[in-house]
Structure 1
Amino acid sequence: MVDLDAATVALLKAYKRERGGMALQLARDDALVFGDQEGNHRHPERFSRGFQGQLGRCERAFEKVGREALPRIRVHDLRHTHATILIAGGKPLKMVAERLGHADPAITLRVYAHVIPGNQREAADWFAVLVASA
């Protein structure tokens, strides 16, 4: 279970209502928000192919307006982007680990150590003051 902000929840509810207009089974309270047309789970590979197709549409739109091409990403890369933004924003590693479903924050640390802000100058200055005052 992942907590979402109120604006995202409202957007997902609106999307679910819109899908509910297509078929009654999609309007049920227990219907999947991102299910297939029958309300069943989508196959991960099919979902990924659809995601890549949408990226292709975006890429063509960017080309039409003379913008640089978008980088090719996978659905799983969105998870990494989310984690990286949280870590770079100074959110506690334990919080990020919980959002990712990691049982141990050490897993998160190993995967995302390269984006954890390090301030070696501050550590050196702090330690020098500590030693000098001893």
Structure 2
Amino acid sequence: MARKILLLRFSKMQRTCAVQFVVIQKLCGEFLTIAGRSAGKVFCGVDIFYPRLLSLQFEADELLDELGLSDLLPTDAKVFCMHQGYEINYFLPISDDPPVFQFFEGQSSIAKTWDSFSSFLIASIGDHLLQWSDLN
């Protein structure tokens, strides 16, 4: 009951962010447990870590609204990653390792870029290692 009362004191955006985070934490829990607030040079400059993660859904909606594409993001999309305010990565909560979709500013559609969240992580770390051999 105390949690419910506390949640009601938050603004609509704060409540939405809290709910989004619970869903994202459930699906990406192992990653967040290990990485949490940072992961060395991996994802450096990318908004994917706590606490920035909490506002990404709102920021993605705001970006798409500014671009006149407010209906592009599915209502059940869970935005877990943004890069420099022009790239949005999200998943739909349909499985324990859901596909990841991506949008870049300048596009008019969204693409399913990875078949799973785990393949997103593997590809991202692989891309990092192509440029820098050290993960720290």
* TM-score computed with the length of structure 1 as normaliser: 0.27
- Which structure carries more strand by proportion? 2
- Which structure carries more helix by proportion? 1
Larger radius of gyration between Structure 1 and Structure 2: 1
Higher RCO, 1 or 2 (CA under 8 Å, sep at least 6)? 2
* TM-score computed with the length of structure 2 as normaliser: 0.27
